[in-house]
Amino acid sequence: MKSVLEVIKSTAAYFQKAGVENARLNIEHLLAHVLGRKQRMELYLEFDRPLGEAELGPLRDLVRRRAAGEPLQHLLGSVDFLGRSFKTDARALIPRPETELFAQKILDRHPSPPARLADVGTGSGVLALSLAGQWGETEVHAVDVSPAALALAAENALALGLQHRVQFHEGSLLAPLSGVFSLLVANLPYVPTGAISGLAREVQHDPVLALDGGPDGSVLIRTLISDARAHLQGLLALEIGHDQSGPLTEALSGAGYHSISPESDYSGRNRFLFASYG
């Protein structure tokens, strides 16, 4: 029998050879998941604990799948986002830390809750549900072209007790919506079609529909910038590709938006655009 610490060390070495980034962090999360611990740090109090086959068997399967490139979030089945736990699987894009920063920037820009908001391309629902949870009086709508992603978002809404706070709509961009919104947020596909095959193997588990932004990566974003003018009296908030800030700033300006503000992610790259209309 191996101890908790021995399993962590040997599996971390195996992950490193398999090209898994943050190898020790990954095995700690997987082992905590198998042992039913809420936090991986709890393992540090159990380093000498021996592990039997009942625990090592399920762990081996998870380790094999992670070494083959299956995302850690899919194996754990959830991801933390602004203090809430969201179910995540292959039906929608895995929420990234950049999107969590995006959500916080949106909240920071609205000391008073907006009257109506729409999350365009909601995926697993992290943006719509996080904002709904913070703004109890705001009317929240979430749109996605993928029925599978919408089903996942609805499951998250139910699990978080927010099912009555968000209205879900199936369709492309703003097509299913009517009326005027004071806030439109969108984390739309922004990867150029030709670059998708070169993405990290973990990203290859995300739906292509959630990645493919067309030939230059900005087709859907440009369409939204144009179409939003008929539905917006307030702020448009966009998460974009790291090299798209300049061209999309020009597109916003040319479409009549004002107060255009690019903002950076944790790496200092302009990954968010905020602009007002009306």
Show Cβ contacts of residue 161 under 8 Å, excluding neighbours closer than 6 positions: none
Low-confidence ranges of the chain (pLDDT < 70): none
pLDDT for 266: 93
Closest-CA residue to 264 (of 100, 108, 102): 102
Show Cβ contacts of residue 268 under 8 Å, excluding neighbours closer than 6 positions: none
pLDDT for 111: 86
Classify 54 as helix, strand or coil.
helix
pLDDT for 50: 93
- Domains (ranges, CATH) in the chain? 2-68 (1.10.8), 78-277 (3.40.50.150)
Compute the distance between CA of residue 177 and CA of residue 170 in angstroms, rounded to an integer. Answer: 10
pLDDT for 224: 98
Report in angstroms the alpha-carbon separations of 221 from 57, 101, 169: 45, 19, 19
pLDDT for 52: 92
User: Is 266 in contact with 101 (CB distance < 8 Å)?
Assistant: yes
Report in angstroms the alpha-carbon separations of 274 from 66, 234, 253: 37, 10, 12
Which phi and psi (to 5°) does residue 40 adopt? -65, -25
pLDDT for 1: 81
Whole-structure pTM over 0.85, yes or no?
Answer: yes
pLDDT for 39: 86
pLDDT for 264: 96
Show Cβ contacts of residue 27 under 8 Å, excluding neighbours closer than 6 positions: 7, 8, 11, 12, 15, 63
Which phi and psi (to 5°) does residue 247 adopt? -60, -40
Cα end-to-end span (Å), the chain: 67
